[in-house]
Amino acid sequence: MSIFKTHHYKIVVIVVLAVLALAVLIHSTRPTAEPGKEVHLVISAGASLKDAIQEVKTLYIAQHPEIIIDLNFGSSGQLLQQIEQGAPVDVFISAGKTQMDKLENKGLIENPTRKNIIGNDLVLVVPATDNNINDYRDLLKPEIGKIAIGELNTVPCGKYAQETLNNLGIWDQLDAKLVFGSDVKQVLAYVESGNAEAGFVYSSDAVVSKKVKVAAVIDNKLHSTIVYPAAVLTGSLQKEPAQEFMNFLCEPAAKNIFAKFGFKSID
C-alpha cells in the first residue's frame, strides 16, 4: 500500500470515529422526556390500594407504552418515612390526610398537584364461616380473644378504628384483646388465617377476600372522613408525566376500577 493510500485511510478512520463520537454526544444530551422515549415513574401507595392500583397501572401502560411504572406499597406512615428519608418517589397516594399534610408542611410535595382521589368505608370483618360476631357489641364477649387493627401511628385504618371504638366508648374495654398489623393487608391476613376473630379494615379489602365477611359497616360519623389524597413529589425528576398519571386516576376508566374494588367516589 502506498504512503498516500495509507494516509488517506487514516483520515477516513479519524473522520468516522469523530462522527460516531458526535452522534453519541448528541444522543446522551437529549432531554429525558422527549416524545417516544421511555419514562420511569415510581408510585408509592397505601397498602389498601394494592389490587386496584395494579389494575390501573396495567390499563395506563397499555395506553402509554413509553411509561414504566414501579409500584411501592406499604402503610401510609411507612411510605411517609421513606419519602422523608429521600426515597425516589414521583407520586404518593396516601390512605390518610395526616401523612400528606406532613409532607406538605415540609415542602416535599408540589402543593398545586394535591388532590383527593377516592374514599372508602371502615368495616368490621370476621372469618367467612364465623357466626358469633354480627355487631361491634359482640366484640365485648369474653370468648372473643383477638381483634386486629392497624398500627396507630403508621396505619390510617388503625387510627380510624381507634376513633370508632373511642366514640363507641369501648376502646378501654377492648385494649387487652387488640393485635396490631403493620398495614391493613396484614390486619386482613390475621382475620383470614384465624389468628384474630375480627378486624377493622376497609370495605375495599373485604371485597377482594373470599376468606372473610363483613360483620358491620361502621357509621362514618364515628371516625374522621376517609380520603385518599395524591400528589406529585417535589423531588420527582418526571413531574409532567407524574401529573399526567395523577390526572388519569380521576378519569372514568380509573374510577370504574376503583369502584370495582370497593372504593367510593368523592365527586
* Domains 39-119+226-260 and 122-222 fall in the same CATH topology: yes
Work out whether strand 39-46 and strand 178-181 pair parallel, antiparallel, or are unpaired: unpaired
Nearest to 202 by CA among 116, 119, 98: 119
Element (H, E) at 130: none
Q: What is the pTM of this model?
A: 0.83
**What does the domain layout of the chain look like in residue ranges?**
39-119+226-260, 122-222
Q: How far apart are CA 45 and CA 103, in angstroms?
A: 14
Query: In this predicted model, what pLDDT tens digit does every residue of 146-172 receive, in sequence order?
Result: 999 999 999 999 999 999 999 999 999
Under the banding of pLDDT at 50, 70 and 90, the label for residue 26 is: very low
Q: How far apart are CA 234 and CA 181, in angstroms?
A: 30
C-alpha cell at 217: 359497616
Under the banding of pLDDT at 50, 70 and 90, the label for residue 66 is: very high
- Please state which CATH number belongs to domain 39-119+226-260: 3.40.190.10
Q: With 60 as the cut, is the pLDDT of residue 232 above it?
A: yes
Q: How far apart are CA 40 and CA 66, in angstroms?
A: 9
Q: How far apart are CA 202 and CA 188, in angstroms?
A: 9
Question: What's the CATH number of domain 122-222, 3.40.190.10, 3.40.640.10, 1.10.3230.20, 2.40.50.140?
Answer: 3.40.190.10
Residue 86: strand, helix, or coil: coil
Q: How far apart are CA 246 and CA 83, in angstroms?
A: 18
